[in-house]
Structure 1
Amino acid sequence: MRRPAAFAPLRHPAFRLLWLANLASNTGLFIQNTAAGWLMTSLDPAPIMVSFVQASSMLPVFLLALPAGALADIMDRRLFLIAAQVWMVLMAGLLCLLTWSGGLGPWGLIAFTFALGAGLAMTFPAWAATTPELVPREDLVGAIALNGIGFNLTRAVGPAIGGLVIAWFSVEAAFALNALCILTLVVSLLLWKREKVTSRMPREQFLSAIRAGSRFVAATPAMHAAIIRAVTFFLFGSAVWGLLPLLVKQTLQLGPQAFGLLLGCMGAGAVGAGFLLPAVRGRLDRSGLVFWSSLLSALSLLILATLHHWAFAALGMLLYGVSWISAASTLQASAQLAAPAWVRARAMGVYQMCFFGAMAAGAAFAGWIAGRIGVEFTMILFAAGAAGGAIAVRGWRLEGVVATPPATVQLARPEPAAAELRAMLHEGDRQVMEAVRYRVSPADRPRFLAAMAECRRVRLRGGAASWRLYEDVAHPERWVELWSIESWAEHLREAARLTEEDRAILARAAGFHNVEGGPEAARYVNVRV
């Protein structure tokens, strides 16, 4: 029997091991979310407090995703992931004990939800950057989609299990089950034999790594498009997360089993859509797929707000799941494909910081509005925002340049002697100024400026702290390109970060130099006086 195309990445043993373990861990995550949301309706049923449960699980990603991405890029990724999971096991265990003892109040629940969210915040960028290590490049898009299918499979199963565990046993039993689920991922990470990446370069410094990642994202239009489209989609779609517990309990007059099953309907829709996505991608580009997913999300919000029957609520959640996996997996794949390996965790950290920040803000804002105009009118308002937002950002195209591995050919460059180089590598404050001098025919000026605009993005993506282009007033054919690098070590990394596309851009700019021998390059190191 032929294996479905969506399952092709599972033929790689390391990916299969971690994918299955992550399946168990994510099941625990949704059991936890279901139990926390339902517990808050008893501790403090105010709409703003119920929405704060979801917001507090998303806010840490907004606050910690970029630092977590920097740490995941400069540390051993396997050990980093293990440490994050151990933290989550401890927090889940403490939450279970406090709930069982009766010592947990509404703000205590929010605090523990935030602490568990902090563990997830540390995990997400590292996990996203790990996927390309587990599968070859030709299976990367499929692996990303399969991660989405697995995540939403647990979204279908986890809430349903959570609702049943709460009804049959207790909320603290659901929290304990979450801790056990996370432990399976810890064991699998311990079994994973990750290949060690060796480098003759010194390890990047934490703050420098954050700055380099931020500059890369700021200079990459494909990342801009993914982030803007994600923020728009998740800001309005997050109303479901913030208001569904109240919709089930107050509007539909149903219990925790129904709450879990409705979340399960969403997961079922997401899983079904995940299997159909390969065929849909053959008909729609990434931008079109996110646009129509946004409109479908608006429709599902409208159904939930206006048709007050469990069957229509189930339909609305099913459609919401379809829209969620279609948009989320497409946007994440776009962001991952735009980032090369050296900065992937940091770039994904920025991306996740933005979309989880949008989700946290949207959930909290939905709760605040619902306290004033009601749950139903709030969801109608967010449905209108989802549709209008999708139209407003449609011009941000996701079909950007796909990052390729760095080129292996190194450019010739004057280097200092070995003793001097060692000194430079260990003196972090010795900033490097790089210069390239061009002679360009005045007739080529407009085309040269267009080429240099692309060069600017290449330099900034590679780690430049600043970039300038100067024209000689007396000799308009003479130009100087200047950019600064934080240290000599960063200057050496700069060459290794250039992709084939980057080198092609630089070569096009150099082609405007009309003097034999090519543009003149020079490097200067700052000297204390």
Structure 2
Amino acid sequence: MPRRADAAPIARDTVPTSSTFSPLRHANFRLLWIASLASNTGIWVQNTGAGWLMTSLAPSPIMVSLVQAASMLPVFLLALPAGAFADILDRRRHLIAAQSWMCLMGALLCLLTALHLIGPWGLLALTFAIGAGSAMNSPAWSATMPELVPRADLTQAILLNNIGFNIARSIGPALGGFIIGLAGTQAAFAVNAACFLVLIVALLVWKREAPRQTLPKEHFLSAMRAGARFVSASPVMRAIILRALAYFLFAASMWGLLPLLVRERLGLGPEAFGLMLTAMGVGAVGGGLAMGRLRAIMGRGQLVLLGSVTGMVALLLLGVAPHWSVAGVGMLLYGVSWIVASSSLQAYAQLSAPAWVRARAIGIYQLGTFGALASGSALAGWLGDVVGVQWALLGFGLVGLVTAFAVLPWRMETATHAEPAASALPQPEAVAPELAPLLARDRGRVLEAVRYRIDPADRTAFLAAMAQLRGVRLRSGALWWRLYEDVAHPEQWAEFWAMESWTEHLREMHRLEPEDRAAIARAAALHRGDRPPEASRSIAHDP
């Protein structure tokens, strides 16, 4: 359900801002940003080559759109496991492995194309393989940003990454178009493989200071479950993902239909196709440079709405474009839309997830967004086959406009609350020495409980505090949460929740953010008695 507008006061985005290029003063960020720019340029050269090659191998709208779907679908399939790996493994090694895989697949695509052994389904398979490497890379790369810059520069670092990506988008397609015209698509694929090597070298040079671990590393499946529980219990993350789906599903139609729009409707060649994508990149860079001022005058929801509306207007322009100049204006607007909407949504997703689960939360966010991109691109190709490229773009633009306004009730801001009165937080008793060996084996679920004595006059306030506390427990890893009222003594209440293991219970304490501790304090402040609420922990046994 959407959060009601009158449920709580909403805070505007208060993340500290800095100049657009301030993150570049940090040496590690600067090194990896420059290397990433080279790698992303190669990816756009490859994307241009793959899209254009398919127009020769199988020139139907559905097959051309499947090139984009094949590059995006792996993120939908692998985003959550990729996020889990990025949170529990060394991120530097993880990134090097992902980049090496993409380099290998890019080189194989180049070789098969040069030998004329590539067919439409082989092209899709290798595009999917490169996309799989990108899927494994992306959550780790995004979650690495807080390690490279201080929090004051984080939003600008995310934006600068997007600007760099769109600079690559500006250079790469045009470069790819000219490379294809001069030396064929195999040369474009060779350039892509070489560009991956630049980022691999930069990652080898980067001396990462891994955060110290006081607890054992999470198990892979347990880490995925904890990430999914966090996102499902976070209203802000759910709203961000929903707003992203509403944008990317319809914006994806451009990726699936642009090659055919350029080749068939406008009657132009690969150079023009590259220049159209370059126009988009130019618009994105210009929009990125204006983002600082836009954030100062607009809230999160307004900024994403602006990006969404601009993108749908761009699709409408592309749909009615009789000439390359009109299509070029549409691509400029699309670029502005892409940077405003995508960088805002990604920044909000990163800032809304604590460090312990950030890569998994970003992975789930990307699962939704790339799933929307893949399905939107494929759906646009199917619709282009049925009604034509022009009407498909017009239909996606009109329905996307309506959807952009329909999702406004889902707010991406965090509700603010008054500071709780000073209160001791519930603390359970220490573990009995004779049970320490049992807990060390880390087997069996842990049942936690806190018992309150509440004045009947405070019942409404207590239930509201418990609603907040339910989210805190679930986001911190609880399998389930329940609140009980004593039917004989209405002033007595108890909350129960279960953790997957003793180690997960210990991690729970480390996962609590300041606002989570404040929510616990608000509930504890309503307790009436000489002592704080009674807290206990029990370990499960099989009979």
Residue 43 of structure 2: aligned partner: 29
Unaligned runs of 5+ in 1: 403-408
Alpha-carbon spacing, 1:285–1:90, altered in 2? closer, same or farther (3 Å):
same
1:135: which partner in 2? 149
1:18 counterpart (10, 32, 35) = 32
CA distance in 2, matches of 1:357, 1:242: 14
Partner of 1:414: 429
Q: What is the CA-CA distance between 1:363 and the residue it aligns to?
A: 0.2
Partner of 2:129: 115
Residue 297 of structure 2 aligns to a residue whose secondary structure is coil
Which deviations, in whole Å up to 9, do the C-alpha atoms of 1:35-59 show, x marking residues without a partner? Answer: 0000000000011000000001000
Q: Which residue pairs with 2:317 in the alignment?
A: 303
- Give the letter aligned to residue 79 of structure 1: R
Letter in 1 for 2:147: E
Letter in 1 for 2:85: L
Shift of 1:263: 0.2
Structure 2 Cα separation of the partners of residues 209 and 238 of structure 1: 31
Which residue does 1:42 correspond to in 2? Answer: 56
* Contact 2:139–2:359 (CA under 8 A) maintained in structure 1: yes
- Matches of 1:112 and 1:411 in 2, distance apart? 55
Deviations 1:336-360 (A, max 9, x none): 1100000000000000000000000
Aligned to 2:335: 321
Corresponding letter in the other structure for 1:330: S
Counterpart of 1:278 in structure 2 is 292
Is 2:449 the counterpart of 1:426?
Answer: no
Question: 1:440, 1:513 within 8 Å by CA — same for their partners in 2?
Answer: yes
SS across alignment from 1:5: coil
Say whether 1:85 aligns with 2:85.
no
Instruction: Report percent identity of matched pairs.
Output: 57
| Residue of structure 2 aligned with 1:163, choices 158, 166, 177 | 177
Cα deviation digits, residues 203-227 of structure 1 (max 9, x gap) = 1000100010001101111101110
Residues 14 and 290 of structure 1: CA distance in aligned 2, closer, same or farther (over 3 Å): same
For 2:120, the equivalent position in structure 1 comes to 106
Cα distance in 2 for partners of 1:411, 1:159 equals 59
Q: How far, CA to CA, are the matches of 2:215 and 2:368 in structure 1?
A: 31
Contact 1:466 1:483 in 2 (8 A): yes
Counterpart of 2:441 in structure 1: which amino acid? H
Q: In 2, Cα distance between the equivalents of 1:412 and 1:442? A: 24
Aligned to 1:195: 209
User: Structure 1, residues 493-524: CA drift from partner, whole Å, max 9, x if none?
Assistant: 00011111101100000111111111000000
Deviations 1:157-208 (A, max 9, x none): 1101100100011100100100010110000000110002222311100010
Distance (Å, rounded) in 1 between the aligned partners of 2:288 and 2:358: 24
Aligned-residue offset at 1:410: 9.7
Which of 434, 459, 465 is matched with 1:451 structurally? 465
Which secondary structure state, in structure 1, belongs to the residue aligned with residue 489 of structure 2? coil
How many Å separate the matches in 1 of 2:59 and 2:303?
37
Gaps of 5+ in 2: 1-17, 417-423
Distance 1:65 1:312 in 2: 37
Per-residue deviation at 1:425?
3.9
Contact 2:425 2:532 in 1 (8 A): no
Tell me, in whole angstroms, the C-alpha distance in 1 between the residues paired with 2:291 and 2:182. Answer: 37
Report if aligned partners of 1:433, 1:483 keep a CA contact under 8 Å in 2.
yes
CA–CA distance in 2 between the matches of 1:175 and 1:307? 31
Matching of residues 349-360 of structure 1 within 5 Å: 349-360=363-374
Amino acid at match of 2:447: M
Judge conservation of contact 1:162–1:260 (CA < 8 Å) in 2: yes
Q: CA deviation at 1:295?
A: 1.0
Q: Which amino acid aligns with 1:465?
A: L
Query: How many positions carry a matched residue from both structures?
Result: 519
Taking a change above 3 Å as real, the CA distance of residues 158 and 396 of structure 1, as seen in their structure-2 partners, is same
Question: Residue 430 of structure 1 contacts residue 525 of structure 1 at CA under 8 Å; is this kept in 2?
Answer: yes
2:421 aligns to what? none
Partner of 2:531: 517
Q: 1:507 aligns with which of 521, 526, 533?
A: 521
Tell me, what secondary structure is at the counterpart of 2:414? coil
Partner of 1:390: 404
Partner of 1:406 in structure 2?
Answer: none
Q: Could you tell me how far apart the structure 1 residues matched to 2:441 and 2:391 are?
A: 60
Aligned residue for 2:483, secondary structure, equals strand
> Structure 1 residue 397: deviation in Å?
1.8
Distance 2:191 2:436 in 1: 54
Shift of 1:422: 5.5
Mapped partners of 1:47, 1:40: distance in 2: 10
1:259 pairs with 2:273: yes
Partner of 1:125: 139
SS in 1 for 2:481: strand
Secondary structure of 2:257 counterpart: helix
Corresponding residue SS for 2:497: strand
**Displacement after TM superposition at 1:293 (Å):** 1.4
CA drift of 1:401 comes to 6.1
Please state if 1:236 is matched with 2:279.
no
**1:269-294 deviation per Cα after TM superposition (whole angstroms, max 9, x unaligned):** 00011111101111111210111211
Structure 2 residue identity aligned to 1:55: A
Say whether 1:361 aligns with 2:367. no
Q: Check conservation: 1:338, 1:401, Cα contact below 8 A.
A: no
Q: CA deviation at 1:418?
A: 6.9
C-alpha separation in 2, matches of 1:206 and 1:288: 38
Cα distance in 2 for partners of 1:43, 1:417 equals 71
Aligned to 2:497: 483
Provide the TM-score with structure 1 as the length reference.
0.96
Preserved CA contact (<8 Å) 1:470 1:480: yes
